[in-house]
Amino acid sequence: MSDPSTASIVSTPPATMPTEAGSGAPVDAGLPGNARKEKPRGLLGDAWRDLRRKPLFWVSAVLILIFVLMAAFPSLFTSGDPVNGTLANSQVKPSADAWFGYDVQGRDVYARTIYGARASIVVALISTIGTLLIGGAIGMIAGYAGGWVDALLSRFADIFFGLPFVLGAIVILTTFNGAGSSNGEWYIMGLVIMSLVVLSWPVVMRLMRSSVLATKEADYIVAARALGAGHGRIILKHLLPNCLAPLLVYGTIMVGSFIGAEATLSFLGIGLKSPVVSWGISISEAQNYIRVSPFLLFFPSAFLVTAVLSFVMLGEAVREALDPKLR
């Protein structure tokens, strides 16, 4: 089965390469046991030691911390009002007074950009957790049960895989958010989260399934089974810890791409809408004034890009630390 990576429009990394030739399934966790015994530290300890020395890791971790603080306590960073402005200030350029200037409706761009973090990060985090839980659980079941259960679940995942990402999101969002309904902020946010999860879980499911398949036949699991360990115990005690690493790496990167995806949907006018404050909405509003006031585009874009980049960089750093081949 080739892997149709989610439409290139949103930056969702292709999870696995075609696996039929046995190439490239990311099974970092499936290390033979003896490879680990050779070193006194465990795989995770080793990875952490590696990670601590990487500036990339620290830079991205600090940035993420800042963004999370921004999302939780925006008032720490600004005293401005993100929602209301005075039209007299419309499109005033950045100055010492308002660092990022004012947008068309005279709202403080700095305040809007700070407050915009919340929507983006909340949506991305919840979607990521949802995707990991659903995709991970289904992948675990498919990989562990095998047989017709696996076949059925895999085909089911293929159905969602067949939907190009942006198109799928458009259909879902317009269906549930159609016909001039005046839906609340949280309702729309929930819808955006749902469409991200619905369209992304198959990637995680495949990732999980292939790591379970790779780990399932390992000697220590066969031994545990022979000793009479129940399914629940084998899954929780043995399979899960070993299949978690690639999932966590992918999850970290996914937060980044979901921030981008949320912004893309808002930008297209089918995601979050004003009066919600989000980077995507700001960028979308700025696009009509690109010739006159490019700074309106610049600041929210810069924040968006930095946020996405921090998560992707963190994921990369962790991946490199976990992948013994790259050492």
Partner 1 sequence: MGRYLLRRLLQLVPVFIGTTFLIYWLVWSVPGDPFAGKCGDRRCPDSYINFMTEKYQLDQSIWVQYATYMKNLFQGDFGITFNNREVADIIATAYPNTLKLAVVALAIEAVIGLTAGVLTGLRRNGFLDNLVLISTLFLIALPVFVVGFILQWLLGVKWGIVHPTVSSEMRLTELLLPGFVLGSASMAYVARVARTSIAENRRADYVRTAIAKGLPMRRVVGVHLLRNSLIPVVTLLGTDLGALMGGAIVTEGIFGINGIGRAVLRAIVTKESATVVSIVVVLVLVYLLMNLLVDLLYAALDPRIRYE
Distances (CA, A) of 248 to 109, 308, 311, 316: 34, 16, 12, 11
Q: Which is nearer to partner 1, 13 or 235 (CB)?
A: 13
Instruction: Give the shortest CB-219-to-partner 1 separation in angstroms.
Output: 26
CB 94 within 8 A of CB 101: yes
Separation of alpha carbons 260 and 198, rounded Å:
17
Q: Does 163 bind partner 1 (CB under 8 A)?
A: yes
Applying CB under 8 A, does 140 fall inside the site for partner 1? no
Instruction: Point out which span in 35-43, 66-74, 164-172, 201-209 binds partner 1 (CB under 8 A).
Output: 164-172
> b/e string for 296-325 if b means 16 or more Cβ within 10 A?
bbbbbbebbeebbbbbbbbbbbbbbbbbee
> What CA–CA distance (Å, rounded) separates 118 from 280?
12
Integer-rounded Cα radius of gyration of the chain: 22
Smallest gap from Cβ 284 to partner 1, in A, equals: 8
Q: Which of 84, 269, 274, 275 binds partner 1 (CB under 8 A)?
A: 269
Q: Residue 275 and residue 240: Cα distance in Å, rounded?
A: 42
In this chain, which stretch among 4-12, 44-52, 132-140, 222-230 interacts with partner 1, using CB under 8 A?
Answer: 4-12
Say whether residue 264 binds partner 1 (CB under 8 A): yes
Give the amino acid at 276. V
Which of 14, 230 has the CB closer to partner 1? 14
3-class DSSP assignment, residue 108: strand
Applying CB under 8 A, the span of 9-17, 65-73, 182-190, 244-252 interacting with partner 1 comes to: 9-17
**Direct distance between the N- and C-terminal alpha carbons of the chain, in angstroms, rounded to an integer:** 30
Q: How far apart (Å, rounded) are the C-alpha atoms in residues 83 and 115?
A: 9
Q: Which of 99, 298 has the CB closer to partner 1?
A: 298
Sign of dihedral through CA atoms 171, 273, 283, 290?
positive
CB of 305 to partner 1, least distance (A): 6
Chain positions 288 to 307 lying near partner 1, rule: CB under 8 A, are: 290-291, 294, 297, 301, 304-305
Total residues interacting with partner 1, rule: CB under 8 A: 62
Q: Is 175 in the site for partner 1 (CB under 8 A)?
A: yes
When asked if residue 274 is in the footprint of partner 1 (CB under 8 A), the reply is no
For every residue of 227-269, DSSP letters joined together read: TT--HHHIIIIIIHHHHHHHHHHHHHHHHHHHHHHHHHHHHHT
> Which of 11-19, 38-46, 109-117, 203-211 is the region at the interface with partner 1 (rule: CB under 8 A)?
11-19
Interface with partner 1 (CB under 8 A): 1-11, 13-14, 17-18, 20-21, 23-24, 155-156, 158-164, 166-167, 170-172, 174-176, 178-180, 256, 260-261, 263-264, 267-270, 283, 287, 290-291, 294, 297, 301, 304-305, 308-309, 312-313, 316
